[in-house]
Chains A and B, each alone.
Chain A
Amino acid sequence: MIVKIVSKNFDITNSHKLDIALKHDRYSSLKKLFSMNPHEVTEEVAKSGLRGKGGGGAPTGDKWKLMPKKHEKPSYLVVNADESEPGTFKDRQIMEHDPHLLIEGIINSSYAIGAHDAYIYIRGEYVFWAKRLNEAIDEAYEAGYLGEKVAEYDYKLDITVHRGGGAYICGEKSALLESLEGKRGHPRLKPQQKEPEWFFGGPTVVNNVETIASVPYIINNGFEAYRAYGTESSPGTMLFGISGHIENPGVYEVPFGVKMKDFLEQLGGGVKGGKKLKALIPGGSSCHVLRADEIDDITLDYESLKKHGSSLGTGGMIIMDEDTFMPEVAKNLFEFYHHESCGQCTPCREGCGWVDRILGKLLSGEGSEKDFDTILDACEMLNGKTICVFAPSVAFIANSYITKFKDKFYNLCKKN
């Protein structure tokens, strides 16, 4: 079931060191890369169907094509390493075990979009991984893979690691850019037409770590080789994480289209302690929760998850066994969203806390059925009235827990 494209070197001892990395294909795409023109590189990636692996799943090639051919200001590549979605811990595996793959991917991608400055925005808590990246980047500069000339080709590239300060919302690309510009991480209003992102007014691409790390394989082997894995509309592989009540928690790379149940059983080793599955969150806490009876036909790709009323997200699955008390799960997640709302938009700032408090009231046995109406009202208020998608997702999540586990929630207020 496992296919190692991005994780190929993960099990090699000291794979993060340049000398070892070079023995295992790192930087091998550069010769081919610089024999192509940037347009051809973008086309190759577009044809591969590579989709963003940070949660949204937007086609990478389409994003790159939004970059203007000419612009008065320089272009930038920003790598989103702000991995903060609960249940997600895949990008740090790349940064830990194969930082040179990420650097190689950055070289590939920067060349395609004409960027000479790239930034890796890494979440503040990832101190070890920021250090590891910096060490790898230093090695790459020393060996001539970065700087004025990349591997003796006439292309200048600098990579800078930029540490965040512990704000979940900075994983949202426009908030990330605000933060990178030195401000509070408040998401920006989105334009109506499609356009690139902007960093100090310069056209910018923001891509997730794993997305960037997938590019060298595509350049080296061609788009067909990548398309040989996965499904028609979700080509290639993804690093799927699995945690919670599972025998073998961890990160495993499999092609899109694998049956979710097979993944849970064969790689996850089944629910911990041989218990029955109650529910799971398929790809980070912002995806709709799925009951055990809903997952039989699900395959791990964007389309299947969508068809079944959830989403693939970051691929970080959280498994919950039969003894899990779902209202507590909802409360736990709402504490998270309450804490992480950036506070820019009133409906989100107040609404997330409101729902969190009502759930607390219900759990302490002081709630009544009227409270569900209040939650649904609050969800109405959260949906579609804010700058970014944080509040709408929160509204959908609240809805999905309450509708799917209605009895459990209503039992909380029987006494009243």
Chain B
Amino acid sequence: MSEFKFNSENKKKFNALLKRYPDRASLSLPSLWMIQYQEGWISEDAMIYIANKLNTTPMDIQSIASFYTMFNLKPIGQYNIQVCKTLSCKLCGSEKIRTHLQNKLGIKFGETTKDMKFTLTEVECLGACGEAPAMSFNDEYIGNLSINKIDKILDEL
């Protein structure tokens, strides 16, 4: 048995979604999202909980969760910064932005600040090429980035 449990809102959501799919196996990704929004990350304990709900094994859930890069399998910072590194952003100067972010936060890509405030990752194409260079900041897209814009965002937090 797991200690993790869905909160009541997610329980409701889960049950509503069950009616929408021909097989409950489809609920693995929606469930992983629900866990991540509830806890900030996905623990092994939560995977056991989901495995039970979906009539599958924890290893199966682990293999799914580890395939998709957006699932955090360890705790991350309060602010999740994901900078696009793919071509259109690169052509529009993402390199400077990426260096600046690393220097300003004092961490490298893939790291979290010691105070658990910021996690910084570089990601592949966000689909924001028209507003390059772009990043995703806690689920929100911010485009046309400049060093000044980044300083303003981070300094105002």
Q: Is the CB of B69 within 8 A of A166?
A: yes
From B20, B32, B85, B129, name the one whose CB has the most chain A CB atoms within 10 angstroms.
Answer: B129
Chain A residues with Cβ below 8 Å from B17 are: 160
Q: Is the CB of A243 within 8 A of B132?
A: yes
- B51 nearest CB across to chain A (Å): 12
Whether A329 touches B125, Cβ cut-off 8 Å, given contacts A166-B68, A180-B26, A181-B26, is no
Q: Is the CB of B129 within 8 A of A335?
A: no
In the assembly, what is the distance between CA of A339 and CA of B67, in Å?
12
Chain A residues with Cβ below 8 Å from B54 are: 182
In the assembly, what is the distance between CA of A78 and CA of B134, in Å?
29
Q: Is the CB of B130 within 8 A of A182?
A: no
Chain A residues with Cβ below 8 Å from B115 are: none
Contact with B along A232-257 (1 / 0, CB 8 A): 00000000011111000111000000
A125 interfacial contact with B, CB 8 Å: yes
B90 interfacial contact with A, CB 8 Å: yes
Q: Is the CB of B126 within 8 A of A125?
A: yes
A41 interfacial contact with B, CB 8 Å: no
Q: Is the CB of B127 within 8 A of A182?
A: no
Q: Is the CB of A182 within 8 A of B28?
A: yes
B107 interfacial contact with A, CB 8 Å: no
Chain A residues with Cβ below 8 Å from B113 are: none
Chain A residues with Cβ below 8 Å from B21 are: 160
Q: Is the CB of B33 within 8 A of A87?
A: no
In the assembly, what is the distance between CA of A268 and CA of B109, in Å?
33
- A310 nearest CB across to chain B (Å): 16
B92 interfacial contact with A, CB 8 Å: yes
In the assembly, what is the distance between CA of A185 and CA of B69, in Å?
12
Q: Is the CB of A184 within 8 A of B64?
A: yes
- A343 nearest CB across to chain B (Å): 8
Q: Is the CB of B23 within 8 A of A181?
A: yes
Q: Which of A7-15, A316-324, A348-356, A375-383 contacts B (4 or more CB under 8 A)?
A: A316-324
In the assembly, what is the distance between CA of A380 and CA of B54, in Å?
42
- A183 nearest CB across to chain B (Å): 7
Chain B residues with Cβ below 8 Å from A361 are: none
B30 interfacial contact with A, CB 8 Å: yes
In the assembly, what is the distance between CA of A96 and CA of B10, in Å?
26
B128 interfacial contact with A, CB 8 Å: yes
In the assembly, what is the distance between CA of A199 and CA of B23, in Å?
10
- B145 nearest CB across to chain A (Å): 14
Q: Is the CB of B127 within 8 A of A84?
A: yes
Interface size band for A: 35 or more
Tally of chain B residues near chain A (CB < 8 A):
43
- B92 nearest CB across to chain A (Å): 7
Chain B residues with Cβ below 8 Å from A336 are: 86-87, 124-125
In the assembly, what is the distance between CA of A340 and CA of B33, in Å?
21
A127 interfacial contact with B, CB 8 Å: yes
Chain B residues with Cβ below 8 Å from A83 are: 127
From B20, B63, B123, B140, name the one whose CB has the most chain A CB atoms within 10 angstroms.
Answer: B20
Q: Is the CB of B86 within 8 A of A332?
A: yes
A100 interfacial contact with B, CB 8 Å: no
From B25, B69, B85, B131, name the one whose CB has the most chain A CB atoms within 10 angstroms.
Answer: B69
Contact with A along B68-85 (1 / 0, CB 8 A): 111100000000001001
B88 interfacial contact with A, CB 8 Å: yes
Total inter-chain residue pairs, C-beta < 8 Å: 149
Whether A249 touches B132, Cβ cut-off 8 Å, given contacts A163-B29, A180-B26, A182-B27, is yes
B136 interfacial contact with A, CB 8 Å: yes
What residue in chain A is nearest B70 (Cβ atoms)? A166
- B127 in complex: contacting residue of A89, A160, A285, A320, CB < 8 Å: A89
- B124 in complex: contacting residue of A168, A199, A243, A251, CB < 8 Å: A168
Q: Is the CB of A200 within 8 A of B23?
A: yes
B91 interfacial contact with A, CB 8 Å: yes
B22 interfacial contact with A, CB 8 Å: yes
- A268 nearest CB across to chain B (Å): 11
Chain B residues with Cβ below 8 Å from A184 are: 63-64, 67
Chain B residues with Cβ below 8 Å from A167 are: 67-69
What residue in chain A is nearest B131 (Cβ atoms)? A249
A117 interfacial contact with B, CB 8 Å: yes
Chain A residues with Cβ below 8 Å from B123 are: 125, 166
Q: Is the CB of A163 within 8 A of B30?
A: yes
- A92 in complex: contacting residue of B32, B125, B127, CB < 8 Å: B127
A68 interfacial contact with B, CB 8 Å: no
Chain B residues within CB distance 8 Å of chain A: 17, 20-23, 25-30, 32-33, 54, 63-64, 67-71, 82, 85-88, 90-92, 123-132, 136, 139-141
14 A–B contacts, CB within 8 A, in A order = A84-B125, A89-B128, A124-B70, A125-B123, A127-B139, A128-B139, A163-B29, A184-B67, A242-B130, A243-B91, A285-B125, A328-B90, A332-B90, A336-B124
Chain A residues within CB distance 8 Å of chain B: 73-74, 83-89, 92, 117, 123-128, 158, 160, 162-168, 179-185, 199-200, 202, 241-245, 249-251, 281, 285, 316, 318-320, 324, 328-329, 332-333, 335-336, 339-340, 342
